[in-house]
Amino acid sequence: MMEVSRRNAIFGAAALGAGAFLPQAAAASVTKWDRKTDILVVGAGLAGLTAAVTALRHGAKVLVIDKRMWFGGDGVLSAGQFYSARTKLHDEAGITKNVEVEDYWKQIQSGVDDEPLSKVRDNLRLSVIYSGVNKHNPEVLHRSAEYSPKVVEFVQSYGIKFRKMNPAKPFQCPTENGSMSRFAEGMVKEIERRGGKVLGNTRATEIVMEKGRAVGVKAAPTNGGKPVCIGARSIVIATGGFLNNKSMMERYKRFWSKIPTGFSAVGEGVPPDHTGDGIVMGKKAGAAVEDMESMPKLYAGPQKGTPGISWIMFDVDTAYLVTKAGKRITDEHQSRYSGCALKLLSTHNEVGYAIFDEKTFRGPNRDRWQFEKALKGGGLFKADTPEALASKVGVDPKGLRETIDRINRDGKVGKDTEFGRKDPLFRAMTPPYYITAANWPLAYKTEGGLEVNPDFNVLRASDEKPIPGLYAIGSTCGSISTRLCDVVASGLIVGVTAARK
């Protein structure tokens, strides 16, 4: 995250500069512009910053505005895990089979590892519709999958280091802790070095349309200063999702609007200002939306103030999920953090707990999950027997004893008789055992938004034709997933297409 000074001084006439580009449409425009640029990017999250850098590299003049006083959006709060088809990281790790773009695409379509094409697409938590309902035009998502190796290279070009890859999850490319702030910071610096501008505390309120073309944006300083009109040849909307827009959540997500939000803990880790501004403005300008009813992305976290341990650990470490009754409810590895949270909801369990043993605690990911911090801070407990472990967090001791005994019996012969886990992380545990504090299912980001074509040009609702001058990327756009890899890919693509004259 970064603090930026002098935000509002920029609203002076001098900020535009004498040589500023006059947008074609704006030349005949009836709107009086306070400033003009080639490309106006609305939203300085990772999608918007990537688009801005790319457009500048392609010779366009770029202005970025953001309603916050810090830049990088959710990306800088994120766990920094990318996904990609074959990259140099794969080659270095010796992972070279079945990792090409079409293998990656097959996995996306099957939905076995996370989103996006195959998952809950309606509003019932017990929905039978878990797969097979596709995006209107899968070509958009396919294009961002093709770009995934370029995304990893782009991130690396800012000096970001990736963790060692896990052959069992060959498309996951996790970055080191804290990398995403440096990534955002690097992009902001490059934008400024190339003569672009990133203005904070500046909220877009309306897309200005003339003769069916998007020609600018009305924006207002968030501290109550005078609103301005900014003209541009291309407007790239990158304002994020709508998790905190109550009426949109109730209209589109129904059941999901009622569950708590957060990430690191209930109500924490995601700023509560995801009001879907870009989607609202786009709809007013006549844009189509897609995938609005899909399930928001789920996570799980403890109560405020309790250090959490990410359930992403189910991907790479031996650990199991139990309920208050001490029972397992799913194949943790295949379900992943999001599927585990969904399973708690669909089985009417209010909370869940991760359990593991000393080998995991001392394992290669102990710093990544910050086990010591959790142990000291009341987020993790240790005991020699299942009964003693259960008593630390109020889980049923008999249930936990039965569960651990069964895991240990099954683990010795490598056969999960309860949920059929087949991954190599399924094994018996040896004491001492560990159990996390209770974790609640949470929603932390939305899927769904403005519909675009493969150039990320926004489509008109009335005839599904592109709206000239209007683009949507990142989690404002309903045609891709809201994962970092797709969000950054959309910025790389639009930076070129929107810069074209």
Ligand X SMILES: Cc1cc2nc3c(=O)[nH]c(=O)nc-3n(C[C@H](O)[C@H](O)[C@H](O)COP(=O)(O)OP(=O)(O)OC[C@H]3O[C@@H](n4cnc5c(N)ncnc54)[C@H](O)[C@@H]3O)c2cc1C
Give the contacts of 91 (CB within 8 A, at least 6 positions apart): none
Partners of 460 in beta bridges: 287
- Binder among 52, 155, 487, 493 for ligand X (CB under 6 A): 487
- Binder among 1, 2, 69, 79 for ligand X (CB under 6 A): 79
Q: Could you count the other beta carbons within 10 Å of the beta carbon of residue 272?
A: 10
Whether 337 and 311 have beta carbons less than 8 Å apart is answered as yes
CB of 40 to ligand X, least distance (A): 10
- Check residue 203 for interaction with ligand X (CB under 6 A): yes
- Check residue 269 for interaction with ligand X (CB under 6 A): yes
The full DSSP string for 347-387 is TT-S-BEEEEEHHHHTSTTHHHHTHHHHHHHTSEEEESSHH
Report in angstroms the alpha-carbon separations of 164 from 171, 294, 365, 414, 495.
12, 33, 11, 26, 30
Cis link prior to 432 (omega < 30° from 0)?
yes
User: Contacts with ligand X in 411-450 (CB under 6 A)?
Assistant: 444-445
- Binder among 34, 115, 268, 277 for ligand X (CB under 6 A): 277
Q: Name the one range near ligand X by CB under 6 A: 62-70, 139-147, 282-290, 404-412.
A: 62-70
User: Contacts with ligand X in 234-253 (CB under 6 A)?
Assistant: 238-240
Residue 373 token pair: 């911090």
Per-residue binder mask for ligand X (CB under 6 A), 467-486, x = binder: -------xx------xxx--
Whether 87 and 229 have beta carbons less than 8 Å apart is answered as no
- Check residue 115 for interaction with ligand X (CB under 6 A): no
- Check residue 48 for interaction with ligand X (CB under 6 A): yes
Nearest residue to 354 via CA among 385, 388, 400, 311: 311
Nearer to ligand X, 204 or 459 (CB): 204
Nearer to ligand X, 180 or 429 (CB): 180
For ligand X (CB under 6 A), the number of binding residues is 36
CB of 345 to ligand X, least distance (A): 19
CB of 484 to ligand X, least distance (A): 4
- Binder among 33, 39, 43, 87 for ligand X (CB under 6 A): 43
Nearer to ligand X, 84 or 318 (CB): 84
- Check residue 290 for interaction with ligand X (CB under 6 A): no
Q: Cα separation of 433 and 178, whole Å?
A: 29
* H or E segment and range at residue 223: none
CA angle (319, 321, 324) in 5-degree steps: 140
Residues of the shown chain interacting with ligand X in the complex, contacts defined by CB under 6 A: 42-48, 65-68, 73-75, 77-81, 203-204, 238-240, 263, 269-270, 277, 444-445, 474-475, 482-484, 487
